[in-house]
Structure 1
Amino acid sequence: MSEGVNEISNRFEDDEPDATKNTDIDDQNYSNVRAFRSSPRDGVVVSVHVQWWKRPSGVAVVCLGLLCVLLLAGIIGLSVYYGVIGHHNSTQIDQLHTSYNNLTKERGQLQSSYNILTKERDNLQSSYNNLTKERDQLQSSYNSLTKERDQLQSSYNTLTKEREQLQSSYNKERDFLSGRSTNLKQTCPEGWQKFESSWYFLSTETKTWKESREDCLERGADLVIINSDKEQEFLFKLKKTVWIGLTDSVTEATWRWVDGTPLTTPRYWSPHQPDNGDGKPEYGEEDCVHMRNNQSPLEAWNDLSCGIKLGWICEKVL
């Protein structure tokens, strides 16, 4: 049988045209199929079939088929994969688009806020500039007013000095004219005494401080105002306990003369005086001042209740 097969095989090969010996895979397959059909014997068929699988072209066909199957499976897998990826990417794209729109909207809001803040900043800067300008103007006005005030103060000081000089000249001239007029007169009115530029009336009766002052006013004078040590010593020598024109009846402890001027200097209080009665109710409020005649000349004043009756001294300035 083996010989028959070999014979048939050799005949098959000899009968083939040269075209069947082509190395192309499809042509070889076709030649194998034709040889299979032309053989009437099963043994030949089996022998030919076995040789077909053993040929390189058969292996190539199988590999090609497997490769096609693998390629198809890869394409399907890739299609599925990219379908899933595409869906996932589509979802991501939608999310990114949404995020982009939100960011765009937020950017617009931030831009609007930025524009508003920029406008407010410009307004504040403008206000600041205006305030700075006003401050500079006020500073300039303040400097000008300060300069004018200093000039006015200097002028005031000069005028005050001139006034004092004029007052001094006036007093000297008045004293001079008063002395001349006194010399021209024969004598002072009855009951009056002359000292320097004033006449003094010493009462011969007693009255309260208020009544004493009223008497002086009726005489065209007022209770005496003491301005110097010489005047105090002159009055002390009269040796009388008399009211003088000093009181704190308006404001306690604020002593004023009857012409409204405050007591400054000189002061001729007795030791420990004034004491406003030393707090003893029986003395009452001691708001008026009298001159004692049993103290030293420059320590003769004492505060006493205004309702007590004493003598008094009136003064008329010439």
Structure 2
Amino acid sequence: MVKNGEHESGILPAGSKRILTVLGCGALGTAILSGMLASIADLTADNSGSLFAHFVGCVRRKDAATAISDRLGSHANAANVEILDGQNLRGVKQADTILLACQPHMYTAIFDEPGMREALRGKLIISVLASVATTQLELALGDGGGYFVIRAMPNIACFVRDSATVIESPQRAFPDALLRVTDTVFRCVGRVFYIKTPVFDVCTALCGSAPAFLAVIIESMVDGAVAMGLSHQDAFHMAAHTMRGAANLLLDSRNPWTVRHQVASPGGSTMQGLLTLEQGNVRLTISVGRQAHNDIT
């Protein structure tokens, strides 16, 4: 554990393992924790070790703490997780790495808790708060700085270690060791991309919110198939696997235009379906929907 005044850059002695505290262990915070536990279990099985020795999840209510403990209990290394309710300061004091995953409007109240700013000083603070800029967090922390804040946007697919996570390229000098820690956290749960600040919020919709948008598309496909006689379970699994297969095709050095035209033969049913989608302005709807998302955030 890092004590105040020791290793103020957040860099631990060689060979030391870190303690990660999640402030606000809701859906996304729990997804990240779950994915990390699964990834670390695999590393341990390979005898390759782990960067983190212990995890702390902080929530506001006892019932939430119980639910999260139950959710994470299936992991072989669940004993390495401590869930606290109403004890944010205790959780932060234990850790050297902080994942800020509360609701975006609550971070000032967390920082204002007596002793919290001092407990956060010198530690790595990774924010996954949508639409909250790094500069806003640093301003709220105040008191001349001494904080190491970095911003990231993963998505709920952390649960299955298949998130697309965007990390903001630091705008000023940032310890390389802490950048590597941040990178390690999110590589445990998927793929990592680095993006400059001016376009970071675009990625909130593209990466962070997109699973919800894609879920609506899957639901629509399933509803159509069920209306024509297919069982809901069969339709759901077929649609989900088809979407996963299409994504893998695109990632296999193919572009959307190629895949679309490989499937759609002249005069065929796929081409008729594509024309119907175009008549429904599907491209414009999705594009404008993403823009509206960014306008709100």
Larger radius of gyration: 1
The TM-score normalised by the length of structure 2 is: 0.21
More strand by share: 2
